[in-house]
Amino acid sequence: MKALLRTALVSTALMSFVSIASAAETVVWWDFLGGGDGVRMKKLISDFNTENAGKIEIQGTTLDWGVPFYTKVQTSAAVGEGPDIMTYHASRIPLAVSQGTLSELTAEDWAAMGLGPDSFAKETFEAVNVEGKQYAVPFDTHPIVLYYNKDKLEAAGLIGADGLPTGLDGKDNFLAALQKLKDGGTQYGLAMTTADGGFAFRTIYSYLCQQNGVIGTDGDWLPGDNLDKLANAVQVVADWVKAGVTPEYTDYPSAVALFTSGEAATMINGVWEVPTMTDLEAQGKLFNWGAIELPVLFDRPCTYADSHAFAIPNNAGKTVTPEKHAAVLEVIKWMSEQSLFWATAGHVPANIAVQSSDEYKAMQPQATYAKLTANQVFDPKSVNAGVASPLFDAAGNAFAAAMNNEVDAKTAVDEMKASLDAL
């Protein structure tokens, strides 16, 4: 009798376990996140699964960044084999919408997540909107910033009473400051990627925007006087190279190495390099450093940014159950609420509540440059714009020679426009 009772109890327990296990909703997740971003996202996924054990389980897969990722998403969604949720660059959303790859997020979806327009900076929310419809939930903004060696700037008299860089605003002032840093014994005043016009486009686009200029879009690229304004922006970088305060034809790894070795006193790069600095500092291998939004060289502050966002593919012929959809929305909501940890990768949390928290305000240098979200510019709304796009390719092919003073800036801008007009 005891044996039968024991068997019955074991059977009941096993049935309960199966019931609980089967109740867990599986969410298939794709992302393109490598390096420090990838490490942090894997931890967030693990934390979510632990916290939601028996209810929702994320099954994550990381694919190659850029064109391979977006091609995979497009082809998979077209045959109903895409994931349940994926990371997406805001700048790539117009193309995805034109291809029918993304599902619209409805008012009911936003209400279920407890998020809406007021949850994000105006430009960030607008970046995931196409023709009045929302197609993703912003997770962060990741702009470019100016990294600086505080010791070298302090020695040059370029640190103010607030402990932040001073005297850098204005085109002539900034060049003079870089020259002063070089004259003070630093090999270069500034390190940046000058061998890759596509990457440098982020800086050049920022300085176009600082002149109240715009790129335009399909069929009307660089309208009005924007061609001249873009040439002005390209010339800024060419002048730095010509003066010898920035090295010519420098690739991305070399730019980072010049700064971290102390051979360059400042560096223009993405916020995603913050973990590099943080790790070196923790190992005692880095100087006092910081990061601020780009200096204002023209009429107003403006800095290029993009956004990692969460999107739901439009899987053709695949019916999603209400339970699955609710689970996906719960994942997005949870990730948005946990974006303080994501900020340790250097990114600015898109969720204003997180960005306004005391914990984020204590995070340096992230909190210092977060104010640029009020002055950010995203890619134009075009199927030909965004990271790894024809716009970046056109800039890359045209700008490298101009930045390195092999052709004049106007010629490079004309070349870029001709490439875009031919699309």
- What one-letter code names the amino acid at 356? S
| Cα–Cα dist 345/6, whole Å | 52
Average confidence (pLDDT) over 107-133 = 97
For domain 143-305+380-421, give its CATH number from 3.40.190.10, 3.40.50.1980, 3.40.430.10, 2.40.50.140. 3.40.190.10
Q: What is the mean pLDDT of residues 328-357?
A: 97
Asked whether the predicted pLDDT for residue 2 surpasses 90, the reply is no
Global pTM? 0.93
Q: Which residues are registered as beta bridge partners of 310?
A: 87, 137
pLDDT digits (tens, 9 = 90+) for 52-77: 999 999 999 999 999 999 999 999 99
Query: Which residue(s) pair with 57 in the sheet?
Result: 26
pLDDT for residue 6: 45
Q: Has residue 312 got a pLDDT over 50?
A: yes
Distance CA 128, CA 96 (A): 11
Regarding beta strands 308-311 and 137-138, do their DSSP bridges make them parallel or antiparallel, or are they unpaired? antiparallel
Q: Where in the chain is CATH 3.40.190.10?
A: 22-141+307-361, 143-305+380-421
Q: Residue 5's pLDDT is what? A: 40
**Which pLDDT belongs to residue 11?**
45
- Over residues 180-229, the pLDDT tens digits come to 999 999 999 999 999 999 999 999 999 999 999 999 998 899 999 999 99
Q: Indicate the residue type of 170.
A: G
Assess whether pLDDT exceeds 70 at residue 170: yes
- 4-18, 52-66, 324-338: range with lowest mean pLDDT: 4-18
Tokens of 220: 């009307």
Using H for helix, E for strand and C for coil, what is the string for the chain?
Answer: CHHHHHHHHHHHHHHHHHHHHHHCEEEEEEECCCHHHHHHHHHHHHHHHHHCCCCEEEEEEECCCCHHHHHHHHHHHHCCCCCCEEEEEHHHHHHHHHCCCECCECHHHHHHHCCCHHHCCHHHHHHCEECCEECCEECEEEEEEEEEEHHHHHHCCCECCCCCECCCCCHHHHHHHHHHHHHCCCCEEEECCCCCHHHHHHHHHHHHHCCCCCCEECCEECCCCHHHHHHHHHHHHHHHHHHCCCCCCCCHHHHHHHHHCCCEEEEEEEHHHHHHHHHHHHCCCCCCEEEECCCCCCCCCCEEEECEEEECECCCCCCCCHHHHHHHHHHHHHHHHCHHHHHHHCCEECCHHHHCCHHHHCCCCHHHHHHHHHCEECCCCCCCCCCCCHHHHHHHHHHHHHHCCCCCHHHHHHHHHHHHHCC
Task: Say what the pLDDT of residue 22 is.
Answer: 52
Tell me the angle at which helices 322-337 and 35-51 cross, rounded to the nearest 10 degrees: 120
CB 327 within 8 A of CB 25: yes
Other CB atoms within a 10 A radius of the CB of residue 102 amount to 28
Q: Read off the pLDDT of residues 129-150 as tens digits, 9 standing for 90 and up.
A: 999 999 999 999 999 999 999 9
CATH number belonging to domain 22-141+307-361 = 3.40.190.10
Exposure of 221 in the CB half-sphere (CA atoms within 13 A): 22
The tokens for 421 are 């007009």
- Residue 9 pLDDT greater than 50, yes or no: no
